[in-house]
Amino acid sequence: MKVLVTGANGYLGRGIVKHLLDINCSVVATDRDLSRVDDRAQKVACDLFSVNDPYKFFNKPDVLLHLAWRDGFVHYSDVHIDDLPKHYRFLKAFAESDVKLIAGMGSMHEIGFYEGCIHEDTPCKPTTPYGISKNALRMLTQLLCEQNNKEYMWLRGYYIVGNSEFGSSIFSKITSAVKDGKQDFPFTMGQNQFDFIDYDLFCEQVARAVTQDKTLGIINICSGYPEKLADRVERFIQENGYKIQLKYGAFPDRPYDSKAVWGDACKIKRIIENTERFEYDNQN
């Protein structure tokens, strides 16, 4: 299977490309810069939105995994609105090609303010330009796939835990603060509960999902249960042996963050179980 991964040099892209290669996929990785991408991948550095006939340009992949997105952690950036038509035209070109599956990377911010478990059919009422744009692209991708008889997958991501300083999450910021020698880290009260998933598991779930075609549609990439932000951050600091203290109450909670929200993990668990069973049967 040949998988084209856009945004391959990003925080998520690098790990997902590695997991795809580890399960013996042929990977075409594209981004403006590819310096941090696994060398086993075929690397194509370019401006994604300036490519004519991208399906042929990227050597006719079986699967498009569209991760590329700017300012993902700057939820009110105008870039989300400005880039939306470009994402649409790029995906439209693939929908009209011979690609088999189009998979997009979504976000729980598509849902907006919500409390409880997010299911595949939970209504979306996004409240930021980031969430609005992601949700719009989700609907457009589904429409394009339906119109062109393509398999459609939308991978709705939750809160990723990792100690890479290259990301923009609170965990990456804490790692950067530790490397800068800081003694404390300004923090909220940390009482909101979110669905946290470790970076490697997140990347594995995405790789497993896009390399099968039995379970499609919206798939939550998540752990399936909530945990207090303060508890997870304190545990992260302990797990990594960091000598840094949280300065509680330095920042207010964001008004658009849910008090307690998590993903329904039934579909991704089924995918993992099925793929592991398939691998076991082939090995025995």
**Structure confidence at residue 127 (pLDDT):** 93
Tell me the pLDDT tens digit for each residue of 248-280: 999 998 787 888 999 999 999 999 998 876 665
pLDDT of the residue at 275? 84
At 217 the pLDDT is 98
Cβ contact 182:229 at 8 Å? no
Is 80 exceeded by the pLDDT of residue 281? no
Q: For residues 283 and 78, what is the distance between their CA atoms, to the nearest angstrom? A: 50
**Domains of the chain by start residue, with CATH:** 2-159+196-222+262-283 (3.40.50.720), 161-193+227-247 (no CATH)
Q: Can you give the pLDDT at residue 73?
A: 85
- C-alpha distances (whole Å) from 118 to each of 50, 109, 261 are 36, 11, 7
**Taking residues 178-203, what's their average pLDDT?**
95
Dihedral over Cα of 176, 179, 180, 184: its sign = positive
Contact 204, 275 (CB under 8 A): no
Please give the C-alpha separations between residue 95 and each of 40, 58, 64, 81, in angstroms, as whole numbers. Answer: 27, 14, 10, 22
Burial tier of 234 (Cβ tally within 10 Å: 0-12, 13-18, 19+): middle
10 Å Cβ neighbour count for 54? 23
d(CA 257, CA 190): 11
| Closest to 72 measured CA to CA, from 155, 11, 122 | 11
- The predicted-structure confidence for 159-172, as pLDDT tens digits, reads as follows 999 877 777 789 99
What pLDDT sits at residue 163? Answer: 78
Whether 225 sits among the annotated catalytic residues: the reply is no
pLDDT tens digits, 81-115: 999 999 999 999 999 999 999 999 999 999 999 99
Site of tokens 């062109």: 148
Alpha-carbon separation of residue 6 from 9, 72, 182, 195 (angstroms) = 8, 14, 35, 25
Answer yes or no: pTM beyond 0.75. yes
CB 172 within 8 A of CB 164: yes
The conformational region for residue 28 under phi > 0 = left, psi -120 to 50 = alpha, else beta, is beta
Looking at the predicted structure, is the pLDDT value of residue 284 above 60?
Answer: no
Q: 130, 152, 159, 199: which is the annotated catalytic residue? A: 130
pLDDT at 55 over 70: yes
pLDDT of residue 187: 95
Give strand pairing partners of 155.
Answer: 105, 219
65, 210 contact by CB (below 8 A): yes
- Above pLDDT 90, what percent of the chain? 90
178: number of Cβ within 10 Å: 19
Per the document, the length of the chain is 284
Instruction: Quote the mean pLDDT of the chain.
Output: 94
Task: Kindly write down the DSSP assignment for every residue of 19-63, as one continuous string.
Answer: HHHHTT-EEEEEES--TTS-TTSEEEES-GGG-SSHHHHTT--SE
Report how far apart the first and last C-alpha atoms of the chain are (Å, whole number): 22
pLDDT at 279: 65
**CA–CA dist 36, 7 (Å, integer):** 11
**Residue 98 burial (C-beta neighbours within 10 Å; 0-12, 13-18, 19+):** exposed
